[in-house]
């Protein structure tokens, strides 16, 4: 019997070629084909089952993760998957696992910061997973303030060794994924000390566990830090705590790509510029932005599909109730998130290009774009992860009460995703780093140095501070150049205003502290401008497929105008637009929602997520929600017995009034 497709009618409404949109979303036809093939491979493998994850105990959950990771590695070898295919397979297994930092940070850091000899020694073992590594930077007492790390690496010239030590409780390494129970090695970041002199924080490759029996080596105390937020979520990961008691390692285990210590104990900078370490940072942050679009699109897919299935109120003469997605309040909350998923996808694509570009420049000793690249990656990491975390929670609310069920997929998605707001840089701290870059840019405007790249608009700040938006009708807001200038004027005005206010302080650092909130808001305006501009650049490309470009234009306008509506005060304060023009933007936004509505299901279908990957009863492709919700309820362990355990001990005495009351 063929399964019913409750979304079939919605899919027939689509005004564009969904298959072509899938290719646009994936980035290329080849990427789409690889993603589609690997996703189905994972979905069809019973070992990768995940519908029972939230019901497992912590120990069972962790063992299940070990089993999946081992099976994934076995399949990668058996099928001779390419690096891209292997990465996709791990992605679609969709479970935080000890290999995440091994592939995502341990290996890239050795490639980016190790010298040629170290790469030849360690990378072959790491690629074959003969060793398993993690990345241990954060400590119990220090996270974002890397320069405040307390772990020490003191060189002993008599033995040609470094002595790694945790001098305080707060110097304990805390949080690294894979550290708690699995990793055999770690990249440890510690204060390099030679001859009593502190040379700041450097990286060291340290073996933690025996390769024979997996026991911690002498002087090493290591374990798991305990349960985290959510049921399954990151509790499948062995985030760890690590302390060193005068652990000795060979001198050549210090990452010596950019600096080194000689046999005599002399600290030297390498011929390779220290700025090369930024390559690893850019790589990691562009990956985080790409992950934001994936997490956001998953949540939006679930909420959109369920909003079509769910009906509430509005029935007349015994007719069907209104689909929740047809309420304007639902559209105004959901469709900007749908547009954001596409916007983040496209800016993520651009960041991949930026990473390639900056890597080539660094290798050619061209460091001219580094400050801008640092600001871009820091700002985009902050804005996209914060927006995505908020959006996942909003999607849960958009699904009403059923969104609170684990089987909706949304609580666990939220619990897995929210750490992104703090790892690899706290989001507020990162915004303030962007703000410092913007303030420096403003201060140099009169020097004749022309801003380029994502800050090129600052070179026209004099015009932008005086420009007036030429919007007379709502449809004028559909012009990309009008939107772009409004975003440029807002960003320029906020940065220039902050710079002027900073000049009122005799002490610049005191000014930064007092104006931190304004500076962070100026940074957000700058980053949102980058996302808008990269979406426009995407629209200027040759996009094949019936109606695909038209849908992207609609989504672009929804994204930009919803931001304008949300931050209307900033735009009006910039002097570029009037309150009336702001009202016209809102009027146009309502019309755009009506254009998104017939295509909503097709637009989330273009993400091409299998039901296995979504892990949501509410977000099922066929829309068969209610029978499946009912079916899932009976799978809960509490329903294994009709009369609950503890009935005779606790419930029956209450019902029969057989409670013994003790007297004081």
Q: Which residues are annotated as a binding site?
A: 138, 177
CB count, 10 Å around CB of 323? 17
Among 65, 17, 393, which residue's Cα sits nearest to residue 239? 65
8 Å CB contact between 165 and 244: yes
Backbone angles phi, psi at 224, to 5 degrees: -90, 145
β-pairing verdict for 152-156 and 185-194: parallel
Query: What are the backbone angles phi and psi of residue 259, rounded to the nearest 5°?
Result: -155, 160
Q: Return the exposure string of 180-199: e unless at least 16 CB atoms fall within 10 Å of the residue's CB, then b.
A: bbbbbbbbbbbbbbbeeeee
Token pair, residue 617, equals 């009863």
140-168 core/surface letters (b: 16 or more CB in 10 A; e: else)? bebbeeeeebbbbbbbeeeeebbbbbbee
Q: Identify whether 158 is a catalytic site residue.
A: no
Choosing from 349, 412, 424, 553, the catalytic residue is 424
Task: Measure CA 379 to chain center.
Answer: 12
Dist CA 275 CA 294 (whole Å) = 30
Q: Which residues are annotated as a binding site for FAD?
A: 138, 177
Distance CA 266, CA 277 (A): 21
What Å distances lie between residue 261 and 43, 198, 199, CA to CA?
Answer: 50, 13, 11
State how far the Cα of 423 lies from the Cα of 305, in Å rounded to an integer: 31
What dihedral do alpha carbons 141, 143, 146, 148 form, nearest 10°?
Answer: -20
Q: Indicate the burial class of 273 (C-beta count within 10 angstroms; 0-12, 13-18, 19 or more).
A: middle
Spatial CB neighbours of 573, under 8 Å, sequence gap ≥ 6: 493
Q: Cα torsion for 645, 647, 650, 651, to the nearest 10°?
A: 140
Query: What value, to the nearest 5°, has the Cα angle with vertex 245 and ends 240 and 246?
Result: 130
Which of 88, 97, 175, 98 lies closest to 131, judged by CA? Answer: 98
Alpha helices in 152-276 (DSSP H): none
Residue 25 near residue 608 (C-beta atoms within 8 A): yes
- Residues near 511 by Cβ (< 8 Å), separated by ≥ 6? 501, 502, 504, 505
Active site residues: 424
């Amino acid at each position: 019997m063929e399964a019913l497709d409750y979304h079939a009618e919605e899919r027939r409404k689509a005004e564009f070629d969904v298959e072509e949109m899938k290719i646009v979303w994936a980035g290329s036809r080849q990427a789409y084909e690889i993603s589609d093939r690997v996703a189905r491979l994972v979905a069809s493998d019973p070992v990768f089952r995940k519908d029972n994850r939230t019901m497992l105990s912590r120990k069972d959950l962790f063992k299940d993760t070990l089993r999946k990771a081992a099976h994934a590695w076995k399949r990668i070898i058996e099928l001779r998957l390419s690096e891209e295919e292997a990465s996709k397979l791990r992605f679609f297994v969709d479970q935080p696992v000890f290999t995440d930092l091994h592939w995502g940070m341990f290996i890239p850091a050795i490639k980016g910061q190790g010298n040629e000899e170290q790469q030849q020694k360690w990378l072959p073992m790491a690629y074959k997973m003969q060793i398993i590594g993690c990345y241990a930077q954060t400590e119990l007492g220090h996270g974002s303030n890397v320069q405040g790390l307390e772990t020490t690496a003191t060189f002993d010239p008599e033995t040609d060794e470094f002595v790694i030590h945790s001098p305080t409780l707060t110097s304990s390494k805390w949080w690294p994924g894979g550290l708690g129970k699995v990793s055999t090695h770690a990249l440890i970041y510690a204060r390099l000390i030679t001859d009593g002199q502190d040379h700041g924080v450097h990286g060291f490759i340290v073996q933690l566990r025996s390769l024979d029996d997996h026991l911690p080596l002498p002087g090493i105390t290591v374990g798991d830090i305990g349960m985290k937020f959510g049921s399954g979520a990151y509790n499948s990961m062995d985030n760890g705590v690590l302390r060193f008691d005068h652990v000795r390692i060979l001198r050549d285990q210090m990452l010596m790509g950019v600096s080194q210590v000689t046999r005599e104990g002399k600290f030297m900078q390498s011929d390779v510029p220290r700025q090369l370490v930024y390559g690893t940072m850019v790589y990691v942050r562009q990956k985080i932005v790409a992950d934001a679009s994936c997490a956001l699109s998953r949540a939006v897919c679930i909420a959109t599909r369920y909003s079509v299935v769910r009906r509430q109120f509005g029935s007349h003469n015994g007719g069907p109730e209104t689909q929740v997605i047809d309420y304007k309040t639902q559209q105004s909350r959901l469709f900007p998130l749908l547009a954001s998923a596409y916007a983040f996808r496209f800016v993520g694509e651009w960041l991949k290009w930026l990473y390639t570009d900056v890597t080539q420049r660094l290798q050619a000793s061209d460091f001219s774009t580094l400050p801008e690249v640092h600001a871009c990656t820091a700002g985009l990491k902050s804005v996209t992860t914060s927006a995505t975390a908020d959006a996942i929670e909003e999607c849960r609310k958009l699904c009403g009460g059923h969104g609170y069920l684990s089987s909706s997929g949304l609580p666990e998605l939220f619990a897995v995703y929210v750490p992104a707001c703090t790892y690899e840089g706290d989001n507020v701290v990162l915004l303030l780093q962007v703000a410092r870059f913007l303030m420096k840019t403003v201060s140099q405007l009169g020097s004749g140095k022309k801003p380029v790249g994502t800050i090129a608009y600052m070179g026209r700040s004099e015009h932008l501070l005086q420009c007036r938006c030429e919007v007379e009708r709502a449809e004028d807001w559909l012009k990309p150049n009008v939107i772009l200038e409004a975003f440029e004027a807002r960003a320029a005005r906020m940065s220039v205003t902050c710079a002027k206010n900073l000049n009122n302080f005799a002490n610049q650092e005191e000014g930064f502290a007092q104006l931190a909130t304004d500076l962070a808001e100026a940074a957000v305006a700058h980053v949102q401008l980058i996302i808008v501009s990269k979406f426009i650049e995407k629209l200027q490309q040759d996009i094949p497929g019936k109606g695909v470009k038209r849908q992207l234009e609609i989504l672009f306008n929804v994204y930009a105008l919803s931001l304008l509506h949300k931050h209307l005060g900033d735009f009006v304060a910039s002097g570029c637009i009037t309150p009336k023009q702001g009202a016209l933007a809102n009027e146009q936004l309502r019309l755009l929602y009506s254009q998104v509505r017939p295509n909503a299901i097709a637009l989330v279908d273009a993400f091409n997520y299998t039901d296995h990957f979504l892990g949501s009863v509410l977000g099922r492709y066929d829309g068969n929600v209610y029978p499946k919700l009912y079916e899932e309820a009976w799978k809960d362990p509490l329903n294994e017995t009709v009369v609950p355990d503890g009935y005779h001990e606790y419930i029956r005495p209450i019902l029969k009034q057989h409670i013994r009351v003790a007297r004081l």
